[in-house]
Structure 1
């Protein structure tokens, strides 16, 4: 079969067939008397093999390797294709989110569209100062649309920039909660953490409800900040998570202070005292944990902690006994004053 007929039947151009021949991918079995390429059935099957590999995204060099190298591992090929596909999908998802941000900002005319596209591009810049400049000093007199801010907050990983974005979003009040709520349901714990930190800076009952729901998050990095923020708003459901923070030594000082504030309510104080006492018993062999728990006990108002601290003055661990004695005296003085 001559090259023209092969091209017509296979859908592969004659130019590409000649290129395959030059590369050694598909060399026709024979030549006519006039020197024209003549393809056998096996050659045509190889053409379709090459085309099928190309549709998977392989380069011609990778196709040649797959066809000729006996040591070439199909598993490696599939793994590479998966990686490329994931990267492509990531780029497409990013583009989709940017387009949604433009649509959500409801541009009124082409000037608005161009401005919003520029904002999206600047907020997605790899340069943190440029992103910061976009938030703090927008080119137009209008503020950055809330939809763009929420998307940027959920994507930002540079701490200083993230703080600036949360500050800017908090100025929009509860308008930002609609965009942050999906972030709290993300499969990515880091995105959920960013969403919690942003919600924590927005006042109101709706924000408090979102923080309370986040107390059940499976990731400690998410439920910890949620507990600090919700507990600071008087949510009693944060108490177990706050005690866990003290035990773990993660923001334990802040967690102790929030527990102390919650203990202004007598009923909550009883619960918190019982929880801290139980934690002390559960970690009897861990001095560092016990010291943190003792410090949290001192944050409780009144003299309630004395019944726990006084027996610890005779603890066999010298460091525990010393700290318990000092803190017991402090609590007693504070209560009598």
Structure 2
């Protein structure tokens, strides 16, 4: 069922002649408009007057919406609805076959911050083959992780070190750094990995943990230098230089 059909059915069942229902139906139709500006206004209108009946339609639109700004507004609109209604719908999307559906659902779960979503952050989700899904999962994980589970999450996240391009690696480093000092043991092991990309990324992440103001670019260049010299950045291998 399309959003327009849903709006028509709901309007017919709830007195579509009333001003409020008529406005809601128009907003729902707007989500399918070919113009991004219209879709953006529609999402804003729905979020401004939340109605649990339309949560499924918002979630469905998240899976196919091509414009980032509109997806962001759809997420905002979902956060305006009762968590008891949005959470089950979003958890279902995490298991979707569509990568964008998974990514956007995880992003929205991170905004909701409801701890009941934690079981959805599985090993498979954190290592999703789609980079955008994985990045959304990393961000959601550090928001949702229960107290005491941070070391286990850190150990899982370090398995993704060295993955992707600079932006992807920065996302992972930020997620790890957000966990704090608990990541140190996992990073220490990663600095001795066989793969130089993993070692470099681990060292850069540790540099960010020690000096968040240094910047990721600087941290990576320092890490590359240490790896090129055959070091792991541990005791006796450039620790002083890294700690500057």
TM-score, with length taken from structure 1: 0.52
Partner residue of 1:255 out of 172, 175, 190: 172
How far off its partner does 1:158 sit? Answer: 0.8
Q: Among 194, 197, 201, which residue is 2:111 paired with? A: 201
Matched, 1:283 2:185: no
Q: Is the 8 A contact 1:260 1:301 kept in 2?
A: no
Query: Would you say 1:271 and 2:186 are equivalent positions?
Result: yes
Question: What are the superposed Cα offsets for residues 58-77 of structure 1, whole Å, 9 maximum, x if unpaired?
Answer: xxxxxxxxxxxxxxxxxxxx
Q: Deviations over 1:233-254 (max 9, x none)?
A: 4454543553354402353223
CA 1:260–1:181: 2 relative to 1, 3 Å: closer
Q: Any unmatched runs of 5+ in structure 2?
A: 212-222
- Aligned to 1:180, which of 90, 93, 97? 90
Residue 223 in structure 1 maps to residue 134 in structure 2? yes
Aligned CA RMSD, in angstroms, stands at: 3.9
Q: Which residue in 2 is equivalent to 1:142?
A: 49
Measured after TM superposition, the shift of residue 133 of structure 1 is 1.1
TM-superposed CA distance for 1:152, in Å, is 2.2
CA distance in 2, matches of 1:155, 1:105: 24
Q: Is the 8 A contact 2:184 2:206 kept in 1?
A: no
Q: Distance in 2 between matches of 1:106 and 1:181?
A: 29
Task: State which structure, 1 or 2, has the greater radius of gyration over its C-alpha atoms.
Answer: 1
Cα distance, 1:184–1:328 mapped onto 2, change above 3 Å: same
Question: In structure 1, what is the Cα distance between the partners aligned to 2:9 and 2:56?
Answer: 9
State the shift of 1:203 in Å. Answer: 1.4
Maintained 8 Å contact 2:139/2:175? yes
Question: Of the two structures, which has the highest relative contact order with CA contacts closer than 8 Å and spacing of 6 or more?
Answer: 2
Give the structure 1 partner of residue 101 of structure 2: 191
* TM alignment of 1:55-204, pairs within 5 A: 94-95=1-2, 99-100=5-6, 107-111=13-17, 114-137=22-45, 142-143=49-50, 145-172=54-81, 174=83, 175-204=85-114
| Contact 2:27 2:42 (C-alpha < 8 Å) held by counterparts | yes
> Which stretches in structure 1 are left out of the alignment for 5+ residues?
1-93, 303-311
From 212, 225, 240, the equivalent of 1:329 is: 240
Q: Kindly tell me the number of residue pairs found equivalent between the two proteins.
A: 219
Aligned equivalents of 1:156, 1:254: Cα separation in 2: 23
